[in-house]
Structure 1
Amino acid sequence: MTDGVQLRVQAEDLMRAEDDEGLLLLVPRLRTDEHWGRMWAPGCAIAAARLGRADEARDFLFEALDGGFFQPELFDGELERAFGAEPDWPQLQAKLTANLPPAPLEIVVWPSLTPKLPLELFRTTPEREEQLRPLLPELSGSSWERAVTLLHWVTDRWEHANDHVGADEDAVDVLRHVDEDGLRFACVEYSTVLSHALNASGIPARRLSLRQRDFHAGWGKGHVVSEAWIDDFGQWVVLDGQNGAYWSFDVAPLSTLELQAALADGRQPALLAADGPMRPDVAAWWFTYFHQVSTTGATWAQPPFVPHFQHELRPSQLLVGSPQDVYPDLAEIGISVDVRGGTAATRFTSRHPYTIGYAVQYDGERHVVDGADPVWPLPTSGGSHAATVAVRTPSGELTPQPLVFRITG
């Protein structure tokens, strides 16, 4: 135990035992301790008051006030009992209140992650993605441009046929069967290749199972497509690999949630393929598949849910009541406070699976934060500060999120 620690322990024991004479004997040594103004001066003021040494007590009290003391509650009412009857006690209390220092740092506005279920993508293993990438077409441009290139490439790889690969076979296997064995497959395989290719290209993608109304009976009641998070639009978009198409009311592609809402409202969008819109009657047929939806990791439906498909009992993904639970906004950012070099910093986190870092825009300058160490030291100058932070991906930067903080300098 160091001398300083030993002195503090001794003083605390004397205060606890109300050994006022013993505590005052330590005053010369206690004055050298960094806690003199915050702890020992008010304690000595109480001790001197109890001994009837009023002038000395007030001197100690004013030393405490001048030293920034503001926590009378630490002394369990003893300070009030010692000085509460004095005429200037209200002024002394005001001084105590005024001594409360402002917070050195206040985070006023910050980005946050909306609670969602864990994101599950439909992707193959990293090793198989390495084998898949050389098989893909050359990609360039924005996230959406690369997604459309992959969409039409998959559609043109083979002519549709009602055959399927094994449940454990991935995009590499499907392409091998097509190229080496001359096999042709159905919507499931188009979606498998497209989803795996998108993820291998840094575009988050899932497989989407669609079912028509009354899917428990009859045949041909299901269709399988893909959905991808497109950084350009900041949303999930439906991509139909079999038809090489996506849905739209004008130019922007639609999400699964938008398509289900349109189906419920009786508003049919256009189904846009590489060579233009499909015939309205053809599009109308494909549109009916959005009655019931299951994505990678989750199935959503309003009760009751029917676990039969085309006369057979089928397992489901995790049942959820709201599709919002499984559609995270991958532009969202979470922050926590870190400490770097003795100063405050912010640590960023994102749900985007292909985050490579963050971009902070502050005071007219852009700061690039590496995803391997996503920490941005806050400026130390006093005052209010406003910044934005955006997720960085291989496709670019997502929607900036606000960050406002205040520093007392």
Structure 2
Amino acid sequence: MQEYDERILNLLRLKDELEKDLKKKGLLRERRPEERKHLQPRIEIELEIDLPIEEIWSIHDLNHFAYGVPDEIIQKSLQKKLHLVKDETHRNVLLNLIRFLRREKIDSSRIGSIYVESLKILSELYTFNESVIKDTIQLLKNYPGQTLAYLTAAEVFLAFGRFNEACKLFQVYSELTNDPYTLLLLEAYRDGRFNPSTFANCVSKDGYKSMLLIVSALVESEDKLAKVAPALEKRGFACAQYVFAKYRGTIGKIYPYCPRMIVLNESLRLIQGETVNEPLLEEVAVKDPLARLVLVSFNLNRNFVRAFEHMKCFMTNVGEVLYTETELSDKPPLIRNVLGSHRISKNFRIISNEEDLERFLKMLSNQDAWIFFKDPEYLRLYFGERHCKNTCLWEV
């Protein structure tokens, strides 16, 4: 009970700090209602944010201080404070950061650095340059002792659905830097939960505030989600809006580059008895294996062989799959795994071969199941909306 209370207090403190931080940075400002009753409090957006420019060296530093803030606002803040930076090397990095946020070509004509080279790799990734994999491997060879190289490579591998490799690179970065944020995401990825002390450490570091709320909302129970959902509703970027839509059970605005939003939307269509967009879900499944579960559910009573193949692909992508049986509901089988979350119980079973898989799928005719797998969404959250917006493999 004490641990439960401590988690609640941490979440509420983070929620309050986030709202105060938004107001302080000029991103959230409430006006008091005037005497006329029909006037309601308004939220105004100012196109500025106060960044500690002396601490900004990489795109990840920007995420630390301004997670979810639009790139156009961030780059204007960097441009405004650029004159304060006298060190030529640092100034060159910041100029390239601004170019990167503006989708302009990175200038690497000067003496190379890990910061500029990493931006080059990300620029290649975001423009689907065919050399990006080769250049990423070369980056790791050229900068074997630089932790930023591992993070950059992790984002590249994640974009191409190489989740196991991305996880290993996250692990190396986390061990070398003792970074609590990547440790938290690795815990959530591997176990579907995180250590409360890791979360408390992250909160004390005063960074990635929106990300922490999102991760806690995805991992924790529904009562905790209800406490943080209002704060997420105010954030106008895909990651936060997806969690709020999942909590509410309806989608207000679809962010077409967000794989989880697409998976949620297609699941809601399936619940309503509509036909899902199979070609779109198959494209999304490259980046997000959760799309495969919707395809399995849709095909289960239509085309068993097709459902079997989708589930095989799911297992290939995520590795070991555990499940626990549960009663059927008014929703199609497996869709509960898209709409909600459930912690693994002691009586779980493992799907380890094709015979187990066939038995599992046949079981779904009179039972449902909670699925447990290593969910790459947690790793993807570290890079935020920018990653999904710029590595979308389907037409939006």
* TM-score, structure 2 normalization: 0.23
Structure with bigger gyration radius: 1
* TM-score, structure 1 normalization: 0.23
Q: Give the structure with the larger strand fraction.
A: 1
